[in-house]
Structure 1
Amino acid sequence: MPNEVQLRFLRMLSRLLANGYPLIEALEIMKWDNQLAKIATEIMTSLKSGYKIDKAFEQSKFHPTITTYLFFVRVNGDLQTSINKCIEMYAHRVKYMKKFEQMIRYPLILLLIFSTLLYFIKNSVLPSFVDLFQESSAASSTVILSMMIIDYLGIFVMACCFMVFACALFWQFNKRKIKIDKQIKFYNALPIYRKFLKLQTSFLFATHISTLLKTGMSIKEILHHLAKQEKLPIIAHYSNLMIEELSKGYPISSLLSQFSFLDKQIATIFQKNANMDALEKDLTIYAEMLTEELQRKIIKAITLIQPLFFIILASFIIFIYVTLMWPMFQLINSI
C-alpha cells in the first residue's frame, strides 16, 4: 500500500474517533471514500472474524511501524492515542523518504549518464585510440591501461551490487531462522547501521514502557507484554532477559546498562526513579529527546549522500578527461 494512502487512512480514522465514532462505525463511514473503501472493508472483515486490531491492519498490508504501535492497544485500550502516535511516526518516515528520493534522483541520473558515456568510450573511442597511437608505445599502453581499469571497475561494481542483493535476499528469507543473539552480534558489526538501530531501539523501548506505565501496570507486567510482541525482536529478547533478572530478585537497571542496543541513559533513569509516575514522565521526555536526535541524524545522513555522489561523478569526469587527453600529451611529447 502506498505510504500516502496509509497516512491518509490513519488521519481520517483518527478524526472520526476524535468525533466520538466507535471503530466499526468509523470504518463504515470511511467506505464513503472510494480510495479507502476497500481497506476499510478488509479491516472490518478481519475484526469481525476475531482478529485483533494490529493483526487486522497487518492483513491489509500496513507498514510494521504502524502495526507495532497498534499491538499495544490490546494492553492499554487507547486506540486513538496509539493511532495518533502512528501518524506522527509514519509522517516523519514519509517525509524523510521523500527527501531522500528528491536528493538522490538527480545524482543517480547523472551517474547513469556518465556510466553510459564511460561504456561508450571504452568500446568505441579507446579502441580507435589504440589504432591511432600505434607509433607511440607509451600512449598506446596508457590507452590499454585505461581500458583495463574500466573493465575491472565495471566487474567490481557489478560484483558489489550482486553481493549486496544476494545478502539482502538471504537475510530477508533466513532472518527468522537465526537466533536473536546472533542477529544482535551481526548488527553490532555494522558500524553506521548500529548507531541508528541503537537510537531507534532506545526510543521504542522508552516510548512503549512510558505508554504502558500510564495504564498503572507494573514493570514486570509491561515486560511480559513487550516479550510477547513479535515486531520488535530485540526488545522482546531484552524483555525476556529482564524478566529472568527480576524473577531472581535483582534490579533491572544493572542489566539495562549491558544491552548494546539500549542507551546507557535508560539504565540511569530506571536507577534514579523508584516512583512509577516519575519514571513514566522521565521516559516520555527522554523518548522525545531521542526523536529529535533521530531526526537530526537522518537529515545529516541524507545531506551527506548528495556530496558523496557528486564526488563519485567528479572522479568519473576526471578519469574520462585523463583517459582522452593523457595519450595525446604522450604522443605530442614523442614527436
Structure 2
Amino acid sequence: MANLLSIGFSLTEALKFMSETDQQVSQGVGTIIASLKSGHEFSESVRPLIEVQAYHQILIAEKHGQLSEILSELAKFDRLRLKQLKKIKAMLVYPFFLCLILGMLILMIRLYVFPQIQELMPSVDPHHQVSGWSKMLRMIPIPILACLIGSVVYWSRQDAIRQAQLIVKLPFIGKLIRKYIAYYLASNLATLLRNGLSVKEIHATLMEFKSGSLIHLLGEKIHTTLLEGCSLKRLVDRHNFIPTEIVKFMSSGNTIPEMANSMTAYSRLMFDEMIVATDKMIGFIQPAMFIVIGLTIISTYFQLLIPIYNSVKGMY
C-alpha cells in the first residue's frame, strides 16, 4: 500500500487495487473499505487487523499526513520479522529430526533393550538402579511449572511500563526488546516532531492512545514529570528501558526539525541493530539444540550402562 500511495493512488484506490490483485488479503481489505465507507478513520478501520504498536504508529501518521512513510516503515519491519522467522524455521528442521530420531531411540531402548538386559542379567534392574535419578528428573518440571505460572500471574498484574522494565532485564532477549522499544519510541517521536509539535502537544497526542498502553502511560509520566518541574532525565533514571539518547535529543536545544532528524536517524540505527541482534540470537539456536540433544544422549547411555557396570562390579 505504501508504494501505491507514493505513486499517486488515493487511499481508497490503493485498497481497491490490493483487493483486486491479491486474493490473500482481499477479505481483510474488504473489511477496511466497508469501515471507511461507514465514516471511520483508516487507523480505526485497520485496528482489529494489526498489532497495538502498529495501530499507534498509523494513528500518529494519519493525523499528521505521513501515512505513506509509516506504512512503508511498518512493511519493512514486517518483512524483517517474516525473514527472521523463516531463518529460525530453517535452522530448526535438522535439530527437530534429530530429536525425533533420538526420541524413537530412547523409546526402543526402554521397550526392548532394558527387558533384554534383565533376561541376560536377572540381578540387574535398570529401572531400580536409576530410580533415584528418575525421581529427581520427574520432580524437576514441578518447580519449573510453578515458577512459570507464578511469573505469568505476576506479569499480568503489572502495567505496561512495569512489564517493559521487567522484560528488558531478561537474559538473551532483553537487549533485543530494549532496541525494539527504542526504535518504537524514536520512530513515533520523529513523526510528531516532523510536524512541529511541542512537548505539550506531544503529550496531548499521546493521551489519545489506548489507556494502559505503553505510549499512553509514558505520556502521563512525561506530563507528571514536567508538572513537578523535573527534567526528563529523571524519567529515564526511573525507567531503564527509555533510551538516554531520546532525552538528549529532546533537551539539546536544537530546533524541532533538527530534533526530528536526530530521532529519525536514531530510529533507523535501532532498526539496523535489531537486525544484527536477531541474527546473533538465531545463530545460537542450533548450538543450543545440539547441546540439549548431546546431554540427552549422554543421560541415555548412563541409564543403559550404569546398571551393567554395577552388576559386573558386584561379581568381583
Report TM bin, short chain. 0.7 to 0.9
Residue number among 19, 30, 42 corresponding to 1:53 in the alignment: 42
Distance in 2 separating the partners of 1:266 and 1:185:
17
CA distance 1:51–1:324, change in 2 (3 Å): same
Kindly report which structure 2 residues correspond to 1:270-289, keeping only aligned pairs within 5 A, or say none: 270-289=250-269
Match of 2:63 in 1: 75
Matched, 1:214 2:194: yes
Query: Which residue number in structure 2 is paired with residue 109 of structure 1?
Result: 97
Q: Is this contact kept in 1: 2:226–2:232, CA < 8 A?
A: yes
Query: Alpha carbon RMSD of aligned pairs, Å?
Result: 3.0
TM superposition shift of 1:253: 3.5
The Cα shift of 1:72 comes to: 1.4
Residues 111-190 of structure 1: pairs in structure 2 closer than 5 A: 111-135=99-123, 140=124, 144-146=128-130, 149-150=133-134, 152-153=136-137, 156-157=140-141, 160=144, 164=148, 175=156, 178-180=158-160, 182-184=162-164, 186-187=166-167, 190=170
Aligned mates of 1:188, 1:82 — CA distance in 2: 25
Deviations 1:120-153 (A, max 9, x none): 4234432442443334xxxx36653335535653
Asked whether the 8 Å contact 1:198–1:260 carries over to 2, the reply is: no
Q: Return the offset for 1:285.
A: 1.6
Give the direction of change, closer, same or farther, for the CA distance of 1:148–1:54 in structure 2 (3 Å limit).
Answer: farther
8 Å Cα contact 1:118-1:320 kept in structure 2: yes
1:1-335 pair list within 5 angstroms: 13-33=1-21, 34-59=23-48, 61-135=49-123, 140=124, 144-146=128-130, 149-150=133-134, 152-153=136-137, 156-157=140-141, 160=144, 164=148, 175=156, 178-180=158-160, 182-184=162-164, 186-187=166-167, 190-230=170-210, 233-333=213-313, 334=315
Supply the distance in 2 between the matched residues of 1:244 and 1:329 (Cα, whole angstroms). Answer: 71
| Maintained 8 Å contact 1:257/1:263 | no
Structure 1, 305-314 or 72-81: larger mean CA deviation:
72-81
Question: CA 1:189 to 1:290, structure 2 compared with 1: closer, same or farther past 3 Å?
Answer: closer
Aligned residues, how many?
A: 314
CA distance 1:227–1:92, change in 2 (3 Å):
farther
Distance in 1 separating the partners of 2:165 and 2:237: 17
Unaligned runs of 5+ in 1: 1-12
Provide TM-score, normalisation by structure 1. Answer: 0.80
Counterparts of 2:142 and 2:36 in 1: how far apart (Å)? 47
Distance 1:232 1:74 in 2: 22
| 1: CA distance, partners of 2:207 / 2:104 | 51
- Distance in 2 (CA, whole Å) between partners of 1:102 and 1:56 is 35
What letter is aligned with 1:225? T
Post-superposition shift, 1:100? 1.3
Superposed CA deviations along residues 248-290 of structure 1, whole A, max 9, x for unmatched, are: 4443234234321112232333333442222112222222221
Which piece of structure 1 moves more, 227-236 or 287-296?
Answer: 227-236
Change (3 A) 1:116 1:229: farther
Paired residue secondary structure (1:272): coil
Are the structure 2 counterparts of residues 299 and 227 from structure 1 closer, same or farther at C-alpha, using a change threshold of 3 Å? farther
Change (3 A) 1:55 1:153: farther
Distance 2:151 2:225 in 1: 35
Q: Is the 8 A contact 1:104 1:306 kept in 2?
A: yes
Structure 2 unaligned residues grouped into runs of 5+: none
